[in-house]
Chains A and B, each alone.
Chain A
Amino acid sequence: MKARQAIEILAANRNDAVVVCALGMAANEWWAATQSEDSFYMHGAMGFAASFSLGLALALPNTAVWTLNADGSLCMNLGCLLTEAAQAPANLRHFVIDNGVYQTVGGLPMVNPRRTDYAGLARAAGIRSVFAVKTNTELERELHGMLAEPGPSFMSIEVQPESGFLGTPPMNYEGPEMKYRFGRALERKLGIKVFGPQGY
């Protein structure tokens, strides 16, 4: 299974979830697959999409929140697993695309590729609902089971790396515009107030 296939399966099963994507491949591919403005695409703070997502999930306990992470990003902030386990928001689901490489920079190998058990790390951190898949069929089957149960839950999705650069077209907005598009999308979708009466 390739990352794009995994992300397309996730996108097809997203329903109303708000999604926070890690910088790099996860953000690029989720944008390519969904073009969704009610997703936040990290353009910095590598490793901290999971923490951003946790804050969002705690603020919106009645909204499904997904973290779309990657192995490189997770390893920059493994402590996020402890914090997720401690807070245990039932609306949070954490997916890690494990391709074993830093895909966005051309596929250089990750630290300890294919030998680290990310699902095992999540379980050891205290997340009780943990899944690990390697094929399309496993992903489709386990995803339905995962979404049927309350979170927090974690899924490691092993995919085959691409050789070289993916060449996915970039998003056509960024920076402050992403803040306002995402915030306004959540205001419309959820009926909440993100910004004040003067727009900030």
Chain B
Amino acid sequence: MPDVAERIHAELMKAGVRLAATLPDDWVAPLIRKLASDPAIRHVPVAREAEAVAICSGAFFGGVRSVAVMGNTGLLTCTGELATLNLRHQIPVFCIVSQRGSLDDHRVYQEVQGRRTLPLLAAYDFPYHVLDKADELACIPDAYETCRLQKRPFILFLTRRLVKT
């Protein structure tokens, strides 16, 4: 039985993703390792999450499908770039992000992320989907297409129940 990271990787391949720009937190680290181990995917580790956003935006214009993988805190650090680059120019960018600060995430330094991330996305009008169960992973290619069609940042959240159990 493939693990969750393997299955997300496989769904991203089905969606045509061939470049992954990443900066880990501990929840998305297994997925990043999986993506980095695939020679069919150009893996671009970055020093700050907004780099990943801009790298994926540039790759879009080269006709290459990409994904930005980061932690929830990292997503909060790059909302300005997502707004002024991706909303401004209607450039799609598909982000896979850990959904921190949930009921079952007992890290005190994630509590603000848990309370304020979704209201922030609503304020920016960034669409998102929460992936909570392994039997929902096949939605990833549809989520990717929705991102392209809506021409803006799309956040695919991974819950603790999905990635840590």
Contact = CB atoms under 8 A, between A and B. Distances in A.
**Chain A: interface residue count, which band?**
35 or more
Interface in A51-92: 51-60, 63, 77, 79-80, 82-83, 86-87
Contacts of B45: 83, 86
Contacts, number: 125
A30 interface: no
A193 interface: yes
A98 B57 CA distance: 26
Given A44-B83, A48-B51, A59 B148 contact: no
Contact of A52 (B42, B48, B57): B57
Interface in B126-154: 148-149, 151
Interface stretch (B5-13, B59-67, B108-116): B59-67
A200 B42 CA distance: 23
Interface in A27-57: 40, 42-57
B40 interface: no
Contacts of A56: 58-59, 61-62
Interface of B is mostly: helix
Given A58-B42, A179-B91, A194 B60 contact: yes
A200 B90 CA distance: 10
A179 B89 CA distance: 6
A175 B89 contact: yes
B50 interface: yes
A79 B85 contact: no
Contacts of A80: 47, 51
Contacts of B148: 196, 200
A182 interface: yes
B55 A52 contact: yes
Contacts of B35: none
Contact of A42 (B44, B51, B53, B85): B85
Contacts of B151: 176, 200
B54 A55 contact: yes
A135 to B, nearest CB: 32
Contact of A182 (B44, B61, B85): B61
B101 to A, nearest CB: 26
B81 interface: yes
Contact of B62 (A50, A58, A175): A58
Contact of A55 (B47, B59, B89): B59
B88 A175 contact: yes
A59 B50 contact: no
B149 A200 contact: yes
Contacts of B55: 51-52, 54-55, 58, 83
A200 B148 CA distance: 7
Interface in A131-168: none
Nearest to A59: B62
Given A176-B90, A182-B61, A186-B61, 13 more contacts: A43-B88, A44-B84, A48-B51, A56-B59, A57-B58, A58-B59, A59-B63, A59-B64, A80-B47, A83-B51, A183-B61, A192-B62, A200-B148
Interface of A: 20, 40, 42-60, 63, 77, 79-80, 82-83, 86-87, 175-176, 178-179, 182-183, 186, 192-194, 196, 200
